[in-house]
Amino acid sequence: MTTTSFGPRYFSMFLLNFVFTMNGTTYAWMSSCVPRPPAKRAAALGFMNAVANAASIWTSYTYFDGQGDRYPVALGIVIALMVSSGIGATLQRFILIRENKRLEALERDDTALSKKETERLQAIAAVNGVDLDTARQQQKGFRYLI
């Protein structure tokens, strides 16, 4: 965005290509983090795909002739979205670490379930068509990949 010389612009193009490598990684991560039921995983993958591809609709309109050869508006939007992605990924990491600790505590049979955790397990049991004890057993061993 700040230069018109070929070398730095070519290098930044390669840096932006890393964005496209995240697609496959994100889909694989989503598939492993939403294992049951299959309908929920399919809906999550479909929603993620729709949101990710929605950018193709509006991004071409950010590159217009009035910006000259540096496209500060478009590249500013790209930079802002990349920074917000980094912040979101960092925040998600801390949330998933906390959730993994909660799941580890729930695995112990001597741990009493709170009302909120019992309601969550009842909802999972209702979706899977099993009883509460089976739903608790199915939760054992699951951890979010970080």
In a domain, 146, yes or no: no
Per-residue DSSP letters for 78-123?
HHHHHHHHHHHHHHHHHHHHHHHHHHHHHHSTTPPPPHHHHHHHHH
In a domain, 1, yes or no: no
In a domain, 113, yes or no: yes
Per residue in 1-42, pLDDT (tens digit) is: 788 889 998 898 888 787 777 878 888 888 888 877 788 889
Per residue in 64-102, pLDDT (tens digit) is: 888 887 888 988 998 898 899 889 989 999 999 999 998
In a domain, 36, yes or no: yes
In a domain, 34, yes or no: yes
Contact 98, 108 (CB under 8 A): no
DSSP 8-state code for residue 64: -
- The pLDDT of residue 20 is 77
In a domain, 19, yes or no: yes
Number of domains in the chain: 1
- The pLDDT of residue 109 is 73
Q: Is the pLDDT of residue 146 over 80?
A: yes
- The pLDDT of residue 88 is 92
In a domain, 47, yes or no: yes
Q: Residue 136's pLDDT band (boundaries 50, 70, 90)?
A: confident
Residue 63, domain extent: 6-139
CA 16 – CA 26 distance, rounded (Å): 16
CB atoms near residue 140 (< 10 Å):
12
User: For the whole prediction, is pTM greater than 0.85?
Assistant: no
- The pLDDT of residue 58 is 87
In a domain, 145, yes or no: no
